[in-house]
Structure 1
Amino acid sequence: MNGKKWFSIAGIIAIIAATAWLIHYFYLRHLYVISEDAFQKADIISISTQDTSGKITKLYVKEFSKVKKGEPLFQIDSSLYQKQVEALDKKIEALNYKKLSLENKLSKMEKQLPEQIKMVIDKLKGEKQKLSMLKNKENLYISEYQTSVSKAKSAVDAAEKGVEAAKTDLNRWKNQYERFKKLYEKEIISKQQYEQIESAFKAAQFKYQKALAELTVAKENLKSALSLKNRIEIVKKERKALESKIAATEKEVKIARANLKSIKELKNSINALEKEIEANKAQLEKAKILLSHTAVKSPVDGVVAKKWREKGEFITPGLPVYSLYNPESFYVLAWIEEDKVKEFKTGSRVKAELEVCGETFDGKVSSIGTAAGSTFALIPRDTSQGEFTKVTQRIPVKIKLKDVPINCIKPGTSVTVYIHKD
C-alpha cells in the first residue's frame, strides 16, 4: 500500500514538473524568439607585412596569448632593407661631394675666364687645310683606281673571250686531228695530209695556251688594279682620323665659347643636384620606413587566435603570420527562422547565454540580415525540376552584448539567444 502511495506521489510530482517545464517552455517562447543556432564572432585581423618580404627571424608571441597595441609580434630578415638604407646614405654622401666639387668649379670660373679660344680656332684652321689636301689626294686615288680597274676588267673580258674562241678552235681541230689520224692509220689519206692537220691541231693548242696565259696576266693586272684600293683606304683612314680630330677640336671651340655662358648652366646643375639630393633623402626616409616595417607590431589590443607561420619561412605582403581578434569587435551572430524575424526589430532587447562560460548577458539586436544564408551557399538549392520540399530558411541577426569579460569571448563558440518580441 505504501509502495502504491509513493508511486502515485512520484507520478503526481513528475506530472507537475512536466507541466511546469511545458509552461516555462511555452512562456519563454511567448516572450522571446529563442535560437541555439548562434555563435560568438569578432573581427579577425590578419597580421602580415605591409610592404616588405623576407624570412621570419623571430616570433615574439604564441597562439592564444593576449597582446597590447604596439607590442612586437614578429621580425623578418632586415639585412636587404638595411643595405638599401646604407646604399642611399652613401649615394647622398657622393652627391653632396659632387655638389661641393661643382661649387668649387663655379667659384674658379667666376674668378678666371676666358683665354684659349684663339689658340683652338687656329688649330682648327690648320687641321681643315690638311683635311682639304687629304680629300684631293683621296679623289685622285679614287680616279686612278676606277680607271685602272675599268681597263683591267675590259682586258679580262677580252682575254676570257679569247680563251673561249681558242678553246672552240682547239676542239674543232682536235676532232679533225682524231678523224684524220684514224684515216691515216687505215692508209686512206697521205702522210702529208695527216701532218698538215696535226700541225694545225698543235697550232690550235699553242693558241689556246697563249690565250690562257693572257687571261692569267689580265687577272693579275686586275688584282693589281684592285689593290690600289688599299692606298685609298689608307688615305680614307687618315681623313676620318683627321675628321674625328677636327670634330674634337670643334668641340673644344664650342666648350671654350660655352664656358663664357656656362656659369648659369653650372648653377642649374648645382640646383639639379640639390633636388636629386632631396629626392634621395625622401627615398632614404621611405627605405627607413620599410626597414622599420620588418618589425611587425600589433595594431590593436587583442588575442592571438592563430599562428600561421614558423620561424625561417619566407613571407610576402598579404601572407598572414598571425590572426588576431579585437575583443571590442565581439558580437553574436544568430540564425533565426524566417517566420520569426517579423517578431522583433533592430534595437530589440536580447539575453544571450554564452556556452563557453555559462553566463548570461544583456544586449540588443544591432542589425538584421537582408537575405537568407542559403542565398550564399556554394551549392544553392535547385527547384527548377519540380522537386520541392519546404525548408524553413534562416536569417542572420547580429547582436551586441554589454559588459562581457574577455575570458568569456571565444569566437566560434556556441550561444543561446533570447530576443524579446515586440
Structure 2
Amino acid sequence: MKKRIALIVFGILLAVSVFLLIKYIIFSHNYATSNAVFVKTDSLTNLSFKIPGKIENIYVKEGDSVKKGKLLAKLDTKDLEIQKNGLINQINALKQKIQASIIQKDKLSKDIDENINLINTQIKKLDKLIEAKKYEIKAKESKLQKLANDYKRFSRLYKNRKISYEKYENVKTAFFALQNEINADKKILESMNEDKNALFIKLNIAENNKKEVIRLAKLTDSMKSQLRALNDKLSFVNQHIKESFIYAPFNGEIAKKFENPDEVVNSGSKILSIVNPEDLYVLVLLEETKLKGIKKGNYAKIHIDATGKDYNGYVNKILPASAATFALVPRDISSGEFTKLAQRFYVRIKFKKIPDDVLVGMSGEVEIATFHF
C-alpha cells in the first residue's frame, strides 16, 4: 500500500515537473526575459540661465507639478533694468536731436539751389547794367569836358562883351546840368555796386547755408549711427533681461533643485531639472540571442520592483547598436585573441498607459513576446 502511494506521489511529481518543463519551454520559445530594466525618459531636462548672476528667487520646489510657460526662477535684474532705462533715455534724447537737425536741415535746404541760381542771375544782370552805366558816365564826362572848354571860352567872350548874356547862360546851364547829371549817374552806379555787394552777401549766406545743410546731413547720419548702436545695445540688454528668467519648457514635474536664492551662478550652471511624467519608457538590455522574433509593437509585461506591480507595454524600437559599441574602452581583437561573448542590445518599451506610481530610475523585470498578437 505504501509502495503504491509512493508511486502515485512520484507520478504526480513527475507529471507536474513535465508540465512545468513544457510550460517553461513554451514560455522560453514565445517570450524573451530580462532583469536589466530601467525606467527612463527623454524629457529629463536641466534648466539653466544663459548669463551669470545672482539668483533672486526660485518659485518651485522638488516634486512640484508645473504647466508649460510657468515662471520657475529669476536672476536679480536691478542693474540690467537701470542700464535699460539709461539707454532708453539716451535713445529718446538722441531721437529729439536727430529730429531737430532734420527740421533745421530741411528749413535751410528749402529752395537753396534755386536761390543761389537766382542770385547769380541777378548779379550777372546787374554787372551788365553797371557796365552800361560806366560807359554812359564816361561818354557824358567826355561831353562835359567839351562843355567845360566852351564854358571857359564863353565866359571870356561874355566878359569882353563879345557875346550876349543869353548865349553865355545857355552854355553855363548846359555845363552844370550835365555835371549834375553825371553826379546823379555816379550815385546810381554807387547804389548799383552796393546792390551787387548785397547780392554777394546773400550769395555767401546761401553758399554757407548749403555747406551747413551738408554738415547737418553728415551730423544726422552720425547721430543715426549712434542711435543704431544704442538700439543694438538696448536689444542686447533686453535679451539679457529675458535670459534672466527660467520658464517651464513643457508640462512636467520638478525632479531636482540644484541651487537656492541669493546664490551667484555662472551661465549654464544647472538650476533645476524638470521631467515630463507622461514621457516615461522602459529601457531593456537584451542579449542578442533573445532578439529573434522581437519586433516593434510586440507585447511586453513590465514588472517594477519598487511598486511590486505589473504593467502592460509594447516594443517601441530596437536600437541599432549594441551596448558595447559605446564602451569607453572597446575590446581589442587585433592580437588574435578573441572570446566570443553574447552582445546586449537596447530595446525601448513604452507603457500602454502611463502609471502614476512609476518614477524615472526605477528598475524591474520584463517579459517580451516574440510574436505579434
1:301 corresponds to 2:300: no
Match of 2:270 in 1: 320
Per-residue deviation, 1:325:
1.5
Match of 2:75 in 1: 76
Give the Cα separation in 2 of the matches to 1:46 and 1:59. Answer: 15
Give the Cα separation in 2 of the matches to 1:310 and 1:8. Answer: 74
Which has the larger share of helix?
1
Cα deviation, 1:313-363, whole Å, max 9, x if unaligned, reads: 332332211121222332111111011112212232222223333333333
Match of 1:32 in 2: 31
Aligned runs of 1:38-53 on 2, under 5 Å?
A: 38-43=37-42, 44-49=44-49, 51-53=50-52
Query: Contact (CA 8 Å) 2:280, 2:354: kept in 1 or not?
Result: no
Query: Contact (CA 8 Å) 1:367, 1:399: kept in 2 or not?
Result: yes
SS of match in other structure, 1:371: strand
Query: Contact (CA 8 Å) 1:59, 1:311: kept in 2 or not?
Result: yes
1:64 corresponds to 2:44: no
Percent sequence identity is: 33
Query: Contact (CA 8 Å) 1:33, 1:343: kept in 2 or not?
Result: no
Matched AA of 2:365: T
Match of 1:151 in 2: none
1:356 corresponds to 2:355: no
Aligned runs of 1:226-375 on 2, under 5 Å?
A: 257=207, 259-263=209-213, 266-267=216-217, 269-270=219-220, 273=223, 277=227, 280-281=230-231, 283-375=233-325
Residue 24 and residue 63 in structure 1: after superposition, are their counterparts in 2 closer, same or farther (change >3 A)? farther
- TM-score, L = length of structure 1: 0.57
Cα deviation, 1:53-75, whole Å, max 9, x if unaligned, reads: 20112122222332221222211
Query: Contact (CA 8 Å) 2:305, 2:362: kept in 1 or not?
Result: yes
Give the Cα separation in 1 of the matches to 2:314 and 2:271. Answer: 35
Query: Contact (CA 8 Å) 1:362, 1:401: kept in 2 or not?
Result: yes
C-alpha RMSD of matched pairs (Å): 3.8
1:404 corresponds to 2:354: yes
Cα deviation, 1:136-185, whole Å, max 9, x if unaligned, reads: xxxxxxxxxxxxxxxxxxxxxxxxxxxxxxxxxxxxxxxxxxxxxxxxxx
Match of 2:96 in 1: 97
Give the Cα separation in 1 of the matches to 2:90 and 2:344. Answer: 64
Gaps of 5+ in 1: 115-253
Give the Cα separation in 2 of the matches to 1:95 and 1:5. Answer: 113
Give the Cα separation in 2 of the matches to 1:305 and 1:10. Answer: 57
Query: Contact (CA 8 Å) 1:332, 1:415: kept in 2 or not?
Result: no
Matched AA of 1:260: K
Cα deviation, 1:21-60, whole Å, max 9, x if unaligned, reads: 55544433222111111111102211011x3220112122
1:390 corresponds to 2:334: no
Aligned runs of 1:109-258 on 2, under 5 Å?
A: 109=108, 257=207
Query: Contact (CA 8 Å) 2:54, 2:265: kept in 1 or not?
Result: yes
Give the Cα separation in 2 of the matches to 1:276 and 1:103. Answer: 16
SS of match in other structure, 1:62: coil
Give the Cα separation in 2 of the matches to 1:28 and 1:19. Answer: 14
Matched AA of 1:301: N
SS of match in other structure, 1:61: coil
From 370, 378, 384, the equivalent of 2:328 is 378
SS of match in other structure, 1:57: strand
Match of 2:366 in 1: 417
Match of 1:119 in 2: none
SS of match in other structure, 1:370: strand
Match of 1:217 in 2: none
Query: Contact (CA 8 Å) 2:278, 2:354: kept in 1 or not?
Result: no
SS of match in other structure, 2:342: coil
Per-residue deviation, 1:275:
6.5
Give the Cα separation in 1 of the matches to 2:302 and 2:78. Answer: 51
Residue 8 and residue 334 in structure 1: after superposition, are their counterparts in 2 closer, same or farther (change >3 A)? same
Cα deviation, 1:237-288, whole Å, max 9, x if unaligned, reads: xxxxxxxxxxxxxxxxx99955324425534644664575466446434533
- TM-score, L = length of structure 2: 0.63
Cα deviation, 1:177-222, whole Å, max 9, x if unaligned, reads: xxxxxxxxxxxxxxxxxxxxxxxxxxxxxxxxxxxxxxxxxxxxxx
Match of 1:201 in 2: none
Gaps of 5+ in 2: 116-203
Matched AA of 1:97: Q
Residue 25 and residue 270 in structure 1: after superposition, are their counterparts in 2 closer, same or farther (change >3 A)? same
Matched AA of 1:416: E
Give the Cα separation in 2 of the matches to 1:367 and 1:261. Answer: 77
Matched AA of 2:254: V
